[in-house]
Amino acid sequence: VQLQASGGGLVQAGGSLRLSCAASGNIFRLNDMGWYRQAPGKERESVAAITISGSTNYADSVKGRFTISRDNAKNTVYLQMNSLKPEDTAVYYCNAAVRTTWYASVYVYWGQGTLVTVSS
């Protein structure tokens, strides 16, 4: 199973970016999917998560600005980021809880990370 993240880049404060993360490989079912970020010198933190049924959860710091969504037919999770702030600058990682067969355990896979830089 591989997760391929894309969509990062350089944006001015107040701008928007949309991150995508596509899962591929031997996938029976994608359960929870999510986005994390890690800023320089800081620990990785959860940004947003979405269940297979579409329930969402957000970090307080991004509520009202970021929206997580998923397309189950495409095995893809998205993160729409609006009103970006310099403190949103970080490497953003996606993850997914994957069951590879109906009888297999669920494992969490991670994408490679995509850099988001917000200039002031």
Phi, psi angle pair for 103, to nearest 5°: -105, -5
Q: How far is it, in rounded angstroms, from Cα 15 to Cα 38?
A: 20
The percent of residues in the chain predicted with pLDDT above 70, rounded, is 100
Instruction: Using pLDDT thresholds of 50, 70 and 90, give the confidence band for residue 104.
Output: confident
What is the predicted pLDDT for the residue at 103? Answer: 87
Which stretches of 61-101 are assigned E, i.e. beta strand?
66-71, 76-81, 90-99
Sheet of 66-71: strand order equals: 2-6, 17-24, 76-81, 66-71
